[in-house]
Amino acid sequence: MGFVFYDTETTGTDTSFDQILQFAAIRTDDQLNELERFEIRCRLLPHIVPAPGAMRVTGVRASQLFSPALPSHYEMIRRIRSKLLEWSPALFIGYNSLDFDEHLFRQSLYMTLHPPYLTNTNGNSRSDALRMVQAASIFAPDALTFAVNRDGSRSFKLDRVAPANGFNHEHAHDALADVEATIFICRRLMESAPDVWSSFMRFSQRASVADFLESEQTFCLSEFYFGKPYSWIVTNIGSNPEIKTEHFVFDLANDPNDFVTLSDEDLARRLAKSPKPVRRIKGNAAPIIRSSDDAPLSAVALQLGMDELNRRAELLQENDTLRQRLIRALLSTRADQEESEHVEKQIYNGFFSGADQKRLDAFHLAPWEERPRIVNEFEDQRLRTIGRRLLYIERPDLLSQEVCAVYEKALVKRILGERGDEPWLTLQQAITEIETMFQSATGDDRMFLKEHHEHLKERQRRASESL
C-alpha cells in the first residue's frame, strides 16, 4: 500500500461552515518516492463569507474567489473524489489533518451528496504527520530540529518545523507546497526516527491499536495540549459499547482501590475532575501509544515503580465490575448534545440508509435534468436539504422561479446575519475584522486587504438591496 499526502487551503477554520478553496495531494510508494500529484482550486460558494485572516495567510485575492476560470465547489469535490478513489487503497497523511483537514474534507463530501468517510473505509487508513513530529519530540528528541516559541516551548507548526530542518518553504500555506513540506518531514522521520515512523505505520490501522491495547497490560499514552506533551502509564479497561473505535484507559497514577467503594454519583464526579483518571483513545486517529519501557520520565506514575503499576493493572483486569462501572460513569459525564438546526452540523447524526446510498450514486450518474426527482426521493431529510441547496447553486434553471426566490432570500439573510447569533461568519463580521487589520497593515499587505474590503462591502450592498 502506498501513501497519499494531502493538504487543503480554506476560507477559515470552522470545519462545519467554511469551505475548501484549494486541495493538493501527492501519491508516493512506501519509500515516499513521488508517483503522481494532483492540485485543484475552486470558486467561492455563494453562501460563504471568507475570513480575512485566512485570506491574508493563504494569499488568495478577492478577484480569485469568483473567477469563472475555476470550477465550482461541487465540480472540484467530484474531481478530488475521483482521483482519491483511483489512488485507493492508501494511507492518507496530512499535517494536523486529523483535527482539521480531515473534518473539512468529510464535510465537503457530505455537503455535495457523497459518502463522507473516504479516507478510512474500503481498505484506506489515515495518520497525521503532526502527531509523528510530536511523538518524535518525546521518543526521538534528536531526530528533528525545532524552532522555539517566545515562551521557550517548541513550535510544531509546519511552516516552522520544515524550514528548521532544511526545507525551503517559501510558499508556505499553499496546499501543494505544504504537501511537499510534509513529505520532506516524513522522510526525515523515516531516516532519523525509524521506530517512531514504524509505530505510526502500525497504529494507522485501528485493528492494530485494538490488538495492542488488548495485549499490553500497561503501556504509555502521550498527548499534547497547547503544544505541551503529557504522558501517562495506563491500562486498557474496555471500549465504548456504541463506538467500537473508542477505547478507555485508566491512569495508573491512581490506585483502583480508591474507586471501588465510591457510589455511582461520586464515581462520576471523580472522573470529571482533573487530572482525569480515565482517558479515551480513538483507535482510528493515530494515537501516540508505546510500550511502558519507552515512557518518558515525565510520566508521573513511573515514580511508583513498575511492580506497583503492574499490581494496579492486574487488579483492574480482574475486576470486570469496576471496569464496567468506570466506563458507565465516564459516559454519564458526557452532556447530551442538542441536535443542531443547521444541516452542516448534522453530519454525524447517523448513517444513510442503504436505499439512500444507492440514490447518492444515482444522483451523480444521472443527467442534471433528472436530479431534482432523485433529491425528492431521498429518505433522509439531511440529503433532501443538501440536495436542494446544491441544485440551486449548480443548476437554478431546473427550479421554479418561486423556489429560486426562496433560496435567494435565505442566502442573503445568511450572509447578512439577520439573527445575530449565526454560527458562521457574516459579511459585517468580516468587514469589522478587516478594518481592524488595516490599523497595522502597510504596503502590499494593505492593498491586499483593501481589495478584500471593497469586495465584502460590495457583497453587503448588493445583498441589502435585494431584500
Judgement on whether residues 39 and 165 belong to the same structural domain of the protein = yes
Give residue 171's pLDDT band: very low, low, confident or very high (50, 70, 90): confident
Identify whether the C-beta of residue 192 lies closer than 8 Å to the C-beta of residue 144.
yes
Which set of grid coordinates corresponds to residue 332?
Answer: 454519564
Specify if 78 maps to a domain: yes
DSSP state of 263: -
Judgement on whether residues 55 and 174 belong to the same structural domain of the protein = yes
Judgement on whether residues 172 and 89 belong to the same structural domain of the protein = yes
pLDDT in tens, 19-30: 999 999 999 999
Give the relative orientation of helices 381-394 and 73-87 as an angle to the nearest 10 degrees: 120
Q: What total number of domains does the chain contain?
A: 4
Specify if 220 maps to a domain: yes
Specify if 229 maps to a domain: yes
Specify if 344 maps to a domain: no
Judgement on whether residues 293 and 151 belong to the same structural domain of the protein = no
pLDDT in tens, 264-274: 999 999 999 98
DSSP string over 136-185? HHHH-TTSS---B-TTSPBP--HHHHHHHTT---TTTTSHHHHHHHHHHH
pLDDT in tens, 402-413: 999 999 999 999
**The predicted structure's pLDDT at residue 335:** 67
Judgement on whether residues 312 and 359 belong to the same structural domain of the protein = no
**Which contiguous run of DSSP H or E holds residue 406?**
helix 401-416
**The predicted structure's pLDDT at residue 298:** 93
Separation between Cα atoms, residue 389 and residue 359, nearest integer Å: 17
Neighbouring-strand partners of residue 28:
3, 34
Judgement on whether residues 39 and 155 belong to the same structural domain of the protein = yes
Q: Which amino acid is at 32?
A: L
pLDDT of 336 > 70? The answer is no
Judgement on whether residues 316 and 356 belong to the same structural domain of the protein = no
Rounded mean pLDDT, 237-254? 95
Higher pLDDT, 171 or 248: 248
CB atoms under 10 Å from CB of 137, counted, come to 21
Rounded mean pLDDT, 295-318? 96
Measure CA 431 to chain center.
Answer: 27
Final residue of a structural domain among 359, 380, 399? 399
Judgement on whether residues 61 and 164 belong to the same structural domain of the protein = yes
Judgement on whether residues 192 and 209 belong to the same structural domain of the protein = no
Separation between Cα atoms, residue 325 and residue 264, nearest integer Å: 8
Rounded mean pLDDT, 44-68? 96
Tell me the whole-structure pTM to 2 decimals: 0.95
In Å, how far are 44, 426, 453, 457 from 429, measured between CA atoms? 18, 5, 12, 11
**The predicted structure's pLDDT at residue 446:** 95
pLDDT in tens, 416-462: 998 888 999 999 999 999 999 999 999 999 999 999 999 999 999 99
Final residue of a structural domain among 166, 196, 226? 196
Judgement on whether residues 90 and 127 belong to the same structural domain of the protein = yes
Give residue 333's pLDDT band: very low, low, confident or very high (50, 70, 90): confident
**The predicted structure's pLDDT at residue 420:** 83
pLDDT in tens, 70-117: 999 999 999 999 999 999 999 999 999 999 999 999 999 999 999 999
**Which contiguous run of DSSP H or E holds residue 435?**
helix 427-438
Specify if 467 maps to a domain: yes
Which set of grid coordinates corresponds to residue 362?
Answer: 444515482
Percent of the chain at pLDDT exceeding 90: 94
Specify if 262 maps to a domain: yes
Q: Which domain holds residue 465?
A: 407-467
* CATH number of the domain bearing residue 130: 3.30.420.10
pLDDT in tens, 122-165: 999 999 999 999 999 999 999 999 999 988 899 999 999 999 99
Specify if 338 maps to a domain: no
Judgement on whether residues 83 and 190 belong to the same structural domain of the protein = yes
On average, the pLDDT of the chain sits at: 96
Final residue of a structural domain among 133, 162, 196? 196
Identify whether the C-beta of residue 296 lies closer than 8 Å to the C-beta of residue 231.
yes
- Ranges 19-33, 240-254, 334-348, 368-382: which has the least confidence: 334-348
Judgement on whether residues 160 and 36 belong to the same structural domain of the protein = yes
Specify if 337 maps to a domain: no
DSSP string over 26-38? EEE-TT--EEEEE
Q: List, in sequence order, the alpha helices (H) in 253-379.
A: 257-260, 264-272, 306-318, 320-332, 354-365, 371-377
